[in-house]
Amino acid sequence: MGSVFLHLHPKRVTEASVQFNRTFGLGGMAALLIVIQIITGVLLRFYYAPYPAEAYNSILFLKNQVLFGQFIRNIHYWSGVFLLMIAFLHFIRVFFTGAYRDIRNINWLLGLVLLILVVLLNFTGYLLPWDQLAYWAITVSTNIIGYLPFAGETLRTMIIGGKELNASTLQSFYAFHTAVFPLLLLLIVTYHFWRVRKAGGILTQHTSEEPVMIPVVPNLVFKEVIVALVLVAALFTFAVFFNAPLLEKANPTFSMNPTKAPWYFAGVQELLIHFNPLFAAFIIPFGVLSFLALIPFLQYQELPNGIWFISEKGQHSAKSTAKFSAVLTIICIVLNQYILKFEILLSPLPAFVSNGIVPLLILFLLLTVFYRFYLKPIKLNKEELVQAAFVFILTAFIILTLTGIFFRGKDMELTFPWNI
């Protein structure tokens, strides 16, 4: 068994690749969290009943009657949250060290698929407690699908098995959450790891000297064990002090005020307040996803050098772009909330024009101005330019998410976190 574990690694690796701040151990942490998810998930299955009449009660029973029931549920909940955050940080780390190009291009795509799978796992799991939080978050999210052109309403009905959430929705979400997605995740993660080895290990900074090779045991394994122990300790501490949320049983006639989507969709929900759903939930997210998928396949001039933010210039332009994006996003949110209500101002036009095409065009105009008067004069190369675009999207996404989580109170009006 021990040798199976050790064979995940080569016998020797370069000295540079075991430096903690090369990867921050994020990929390994994600793998460990998946294992924890599977163990606690299987344990939860022994008590959970996937039927609307019993689901909520089975969670109550788990909480109140089962020894360590609350604890196991908390670990499952928090490791799900941690997994998504760490997978996201891993994705950011890989991008900013340039470890997505050439031989690693397929692995970048696999990583994206894995990130989406983790979101889907979190999302399908969100419904299972069948409490108010679950019911309304999933109602809102699945209603978005109805806005897809042509087949939207049909697709929505197909996914939830009816017009509103019902028993068959819960059952199919359960099947996806506990069988389909975990299986896919395991298969792809295995391949993901294998491809890292195939690419010659972790991408490290290019030097002219011959890299120093050191044995994996104890150099790498020792560090991995430390990271694993610290992570498990942090997770258990969290699970002891913070309970997984559980509100009252789902009530289809009463939406909570405010009703918020799961935290990882808070950014999309914030977009939904500002854009027509067709744009907020499809055109913009799919645009962003296509851009992310295309990143490794744009023809770059230079080889990946493994340097954080590519170069001095890259670092500088990334910083300014982040600032620009943050300020622009905040201004747009506030302006659109209080003054520029496109849907009312341009009311004779159809909603997807007044509240979709028009604001998007304005945004593109502002971006063009930023490009023309800042990015173009400092003469970035292609990879630095792609990095700037990535930084813009990333910052806007983070600001939108934080706004959705911390600055939306009653009636989804803008407010301060201490008023929520």
Partner 1 sequence: MKKTQDKRVQPKVKSSPLKVFNRRDFFNTVWKGLGLLAAFEMAGIFTAYLFSGKRKSIPEPGQLIEAGLAESFAPNSVTPFMGGRFYLARQKDGGFIALSLRCTHLGCSIAWEEKQNRFICPCHSSAFAINGEVLNPPASRALDFYPVMIDNGLIKVDIGTLKERNSFRKDQLQYA
CB of 417 to partner 1, least distance (A): 18
Which residue's CB is nearer to partner 1, number 75 or number 138?
Answer: 138
Instruction: List the interface residues with partner 1, window 107-136 (CB under 8 A).
Output: 136
Q: Is 343 in the site for partner 1 (CB under 8 A)?
A: yes
Separation in Å, CA 207 to CA 24, 198, 244, 305, 306: 21, 21, 48, 9, 10
Residues in binding contact with partner 1, number by CB under 8 A: 34
CB of 255 to partner 1, least distance (A): 4
Q: Is 51 in the site for partner 1 (CB under 8 A)?
A: no
CA-CA distance, 413 to 411, in Å (whole number)? Answer: 5
Q: Is 346 in the site for partner 1 (CB under 8 A)?
A: no
Tell me which of 17, 355, 387, 403 binds partner 1, using CB under 8 A. 355
Q: Is 345 in the site for partner 1 (CB under 8 A)?
A: no
Number of other residues whose CB lies within 10 A of the CB of residue 129? 25
Q: Is 412 in the site for partner 1 (CB under 8 A)?
A: yes
Instruction: List the interface residues with partner 1, window 233-272 (CB under 8 A).
Output: 252-259, 269, 272
Which residue's CB is nearer to partner 1, number 170 or number 295?
Answer: 170
CB of 152 to partner 1, least distance (A): 12
The CA-CA-CA angle for residues 412, 414, 418, to 5°, reads: 100
Which residue's CB is nearer to partner 1, number 168 or number 237?
Answer: 168
Q: Is 166 in the site for partner 1 (CB under 8 A)?
A: yes
CB of 364 to partner 1, least distance (A): 21
Q: Is 167 in the site for partner 1 (CB under 8 A)?
A: yes
Task: Sort strands 213-215 and 12-14 into parallel, antiparallel or unpaired.
Answer: antiparallel
Q: Is 144 in the site for partner 1 (CB under 8 A)?
A: yes
Q: Is 168 in the site for partner 1 (CB under 8 A)?
A: yes
CB of 344 to partner 1, least distance (A): 7
Which residue's CB is nearer to partner 1, number 143 or number 243?
Answer: 143
Which one, of 164, 397, 400, 361, lies nearest residue 273 by Cα? 400
3-state SS of 10-21?
CCEEECHHHCHH
Q: Is 48 in the site for partner 1 (CB under 8 A)?
A: no
Q: Where are the beta strands (DSSP E) in 186-335?
A: 213-215
* Contact between residue 304 and residue 98 where contact means Cβ atoms under 8 Å apart: yes
Helix axes 26-45, 216-241, angle to 10 degrees: 50
Which residue in this structure is represented by tokens 């940080």? Answer: 89
Beta bridge partners of 322: none
CA-CA distance, 52 to 128, in Å (whole number)? Answer: 9
Q: Is 341 in the site for partner 1 (CB under 8 A)?
A: yes
Q: Is 290 in the site for partner 1 (CB under 8 A)?
A: no
Interface stretch with partner 1, choices 37-45, 52-60, 165-173, 313-321 (CB under 8 A): 165-173
Interface stretch with partner 1, choices 79-87, 93-101, 103-111, 337-345 (CB under 8 A): 337-345
Which one, of 277, 238, 241, lies nearest residue 261 by Cα? 277
Q: Is 139 in the site for partner 1 (CB under 8 A)?
A: yes
Instruction: List the interface residues with partner 1, window 182-201 (CB under 8 A).
Output: none
Tell me which of 164, 286, 290, 302 binds partner 1, using CB under 8 A. 164
Interface stretch with partner 1, choices 215-223, 285-293, 385-393, 405-413 (CB under 8 A): 405-413
Q: Is 215 in the site for partner 1 (CB under 8 A)?
A: no
* CA 205 and chain centroid, separation: 27
* Contact between residue 37 and residue 79 where contact means Cβ atoms under 8 Å apart: yes
Number of other residues whose CB lies within 10 A of the CB of residue 70? 18
Question: HSE of 173 in the Cβ direction (CA atoms, 13 Å)?
Answer: 29
Which residue's CB is nearer to partner 1, number 99 or number 138?
Answer: 138
Q: Is 361 in the site for partner 1 (CB under 8 A)?
A: no
Q: Is 180 in the site for partner 1 (CB under 8 A)?
A: no
Contacts of 230 (CB under 8 A, 6+ apart): none
Q: What is the DSSP string of 290-317?
A: HHHHHGGGS--SSPP---TTSSHHHHHH
Beta bridge partners of 213: 14
Residues found near partner 1 in the complex (CB under 8 A): 136, 139-140, 143-144, 158, 161-164, 166-168, 252-259, 269, 272-273, 276-277, 341, 343-344, 351, 355, 411-413
